[in-house]
Chains A and B, each alone.
Chain A
Amino acid sequence: MGRLRYPLRRIIEGLITLFIVMTIIFLLFRVMPGDPLSIVIDPKMTPEVKEMIRHSYGLDQPMFVQYGIYLKNLLTLNLGESFRYSQPVSEVLAAKIPNTLLLFTSASVLSAVLGIILGRIIAWRRNSKLEYGLTLAGLFFYEMPIFWFGLILIYLFAFRLNLFPISGMIDFELWTLGATTGEKIIDILHHLILPLITLTTASFCGMMLLMRTSMVETMKEDYVEAAKARGLPDKVVRDSYAARNAELPVITAFILSLSASIGGGVLTEKIFSWPGIGYELYQATIGRDYPLAQGCFFILTLMTILAVIVIDISYAYLDPRVSYD
């Protein structure tokens, strides 16, 4: 019973957080300048008709009633109708979420693996030239504005070397004029490479430094010292004793980076015109497609909160050193 209480508490806390965030968003979208219906309402309509249309959107209700309807709609995932697509927001999002997940999951996996491998190496060789070099280089990429780096990569690899497509996720011509499924998969992967390289290069360093710190810590543990004392080869000690226990925080960071990168993905998606949620949010905001912008925001927040909860709960189960009351 005690084991179940903690996850339950976290989930309830998560729900409260979601509630707070959604309230903020509700207020935010209500103070936006201009009438949210200005796209729908014809200026030449008489006041009575405007009122009727307002009524059909529920905008003539008092604020708290609107708020209630809004919460109810969120609960039922009824996110309204997008102005731009003339299509339910949930449908638009359902089409975009896989694109975003494809890009950011693969990037997170790659950078986690790269980070773990490099982190192990530099932790083992502390204060070597290699450590300084890798840390500096990694940090340089880590602190780069990702859109700037993306532009440079597009310049080098797409423009100068002509290796990859410049933007988008698919070749429109290929898709609209008929292509086999195999060709389509290859086409998507081909478009994926450049944004993937950008994201991985920019984020492996976080993992690497974390792995290093975590590894340095575990290396001080008694059992690692003992293993060393027994005369086991360095590589074995490093990989089987030290590294294995150092991975926990890295895996955590991996899940967290997934959710964080999705939120911060607006810039990457914009540079590469990647048709994901971030790009959609950006465009919906610019085009004043409030229902869609609100929907994108809701999904992004939901993802972040879920990720945090998953981490906290798995931490409680997996790491005996962490105890929660």
Chain B
Amino acid sequence: MKTLAGLIKGVWNDKQGRLGLIIVTLLALVALFAPLIAPYDPYDVNQRADKGLSPSLSHLLGTSLTTGQDIFSMLIYGTRVSLTVGVITGIAIALLGSVLGICAGYIGGVCDMLLMRIVDVMIVIPTLPLTILITNVFGKSYVVIVTVFVLFGWSGLARTVRSQVLKLKSCDYVKAAELSGASKRYIMFRHILPAVSNLVVMSTALTCAGVMIAEAGLSFLGLGNPTAVSWGKMLADAQSGGSMLFGQWWTILAPGIGIFISVFAFMRIGLAMESVLNPAMKGRSGLGRLMRKMRRGELDKVLAEMEEPE
């Protein structure tokens, strides 16, 4: 088993994973220092220029057709919404999904049955229409969106964790802990949770990516916070403002590329973690991978992994 630091190091050694890590760090910096980087404040009504300006030195990507905000600044501020919604939802889902998955898997019985029935229901309910309905009832805000994503998004992770826990349950060290009189809670948090934590971290990266796409879609439909600057809303404004009619393709390309890059980076990290944790899953030939690892002097690690009971 790997520690979190070991996992990140593994991702860093993966070429694609490193790309993902670098991009996410850059995006986080951009989001954090948005007011310093952006030449204009898109939230400030006084800093609006003429509508639909073409790119120039004073407005790198021109201005929006509907409001006259500087698109480059909006792009930078949009990072904040996308990253916060994605990361907060991802972490909350990771916590909820792993706790519920461990409970279902380890305690079993009624608890397991109840949770799995809830999961059955959640899989059936269409997520996007449900989110739309709930934003209609509770108002359009990112708090509502994140809550809905978390409450209805943990089922996938809980299922994966549960099946993993069922396997771990019959492991010798868990049995030994049980026999020596450890409480269920102790076993769950001291033995089972660390064993599934890597799986959870990996799926969190992929969840973040998925949530960011979903958030963009909702903002595009006009269901996010109407006053916030987000990439999805920029796309919607560009489309409804007729930017395509006027041939202003950059107003569509810029936020789209923003969404793409951030989602891509999180996916890359997730996939790199997957191949670090579960080398057999990697699509390429096993021998080639072994050779590469040998070159990096990681063979010992690989062998250690092989000896571990799955």
A-B complex is real: no
Binding site for A on B (CB under 8 A): none
Binding site for B on A (CB under 8 A): none
